[in-house]
Chains A and B, each alone.
Chain A
Amino acid sequence: MNPRFVDQNALRTNQAVIIAFLLIGFIFDLVGLVYFTAFAMLVGTLFSAPAFKPIYQYLVQPLGIAKPEVMQDDPNAHRFAQFIGGLFLLAGSTFLYYGLSLPGWTLTFVVIGLASINLLTGFCVGCFFYFQLGKIGFFKTANQSPE
């Protein structure tokens, strides 16, 4: 199989933007920002790209905040992680839409927590589940990267 590469800084920017949007959404009670983030994550998954890649491409990179750090990695694992995060947020958004604040914000904080772990420590929980599911035969390519 051909090696595949992922720009780690694009992923980090994506995680940072997700955390920032969701925290701002919570602090200022801007539920629309949670809907928007969920939508962006799911659409990003559909196009096999980080949800907020344009921010990285047109803002972070030109301003010199971060340079590309391309490493051999499995993009499908990150895509899966983003998809799961998007689903959690979609569920959270639905609760928030119907006025169920506690489950809505709890799910939102789960996403904030998982994105923070990934951003701060480099451990991608969604990718971990992707590879575990790959080991039991869910995904064809999942055994090509971390266990």
Chain B
Amino acid sequence: MNIPDFLLRFVLALLVGGSAIFAYSYWINMNLSTNSHKVHKLTGYQHGKAGIILFSSPTCAPCKTVQKPMIERILSKMGNSLQFLEIDASLQPDLANEWGVVSVPTIYLVEPSGKSRFVHFGLVNEKKLTEQLKELL
């Protein structure tokens, strides 16, 4: 039986797409595992508290106008259970490189144990961020 050409192409597209998703997930997991517990080295980090680490820069407009106000809103709702650290990637490029930051804003969500659990390269919406933070608490 001949398999229709479009079906073969569909399967090929699925395979390519699946491989790309796998590669991306692998990269994210690698990034999170290499950064696991690095948070302890950050100045101002409080042990035993879940946290949001925001890598930004003074020239990043969405960091200032969208991401940071959003984080502040979340912090005001979630109270003292969370800590927030903002790192200026332009002032600490070595630290940003060490964390694998390729663009700003980049946000890491860290468990109370210090383990990096989620990472977002680019803007993230409030609903998703809140849901993920609830998982950490």
Contact = CB atoms under 8 A, between A and B. Distances in A.
A127 B122 CA distance: 11
Contact residue range for chain B?
20 to 34
Contact of A26 (B13, B61, B89, B121): B13
B60 A122 contact: no
Interface string B56-88: 010111110110000000000000000000000
Contacts of A131: 103
Interface in B1-44: 5-6, 9-10, 12-13, 16-17, 20, 24
Given A121-B122, A128-B103, A27 B61 contact: no
Interface stretch (A31-39, A43-51, A68-76, A84-92): A68-76
Interface in A89-130: 109, 112-113, 116-117, 121-124, 127-128
B90 interface: yes
A144 interface: yes
A121 B66 contact: no
B79 to A, nearest CB: 27
Given A72-B65, A117-B24, A144-B59, A29 B122 contact: no
Contacts of B5: 29
B123 interface: yes
A123 B31 CA distance: 15
B53 interface: no
B122 A122 contact: yes
Contact of B62 (A23, A73, A143): A73
B59 to A, nearest CB: 5
Contacts, number: 73
A146 B103 contact: yes
A147 interface: yes
A64 interface: no
A58 interface: no
Interface string B111-122: 000000000111
B9 A124 contact: no
B127 to A, nearest CB: 12
Given A121-B120, A122-B120, A146-B103, A3 B9 contact: no
Interface string B92-135: 00000000001111000000000000001111100000000000
Interface of B: 5-6, 9-10, 12-13, 16-17, 20, 24, 57, 59-63, 65-66, 89-90, 102-105, 120-124
Interface of A: 3, 8, 23, 26-29, 71-74, 109, 112-113, 116-117, 121-124, 127-128, 131, 143-147
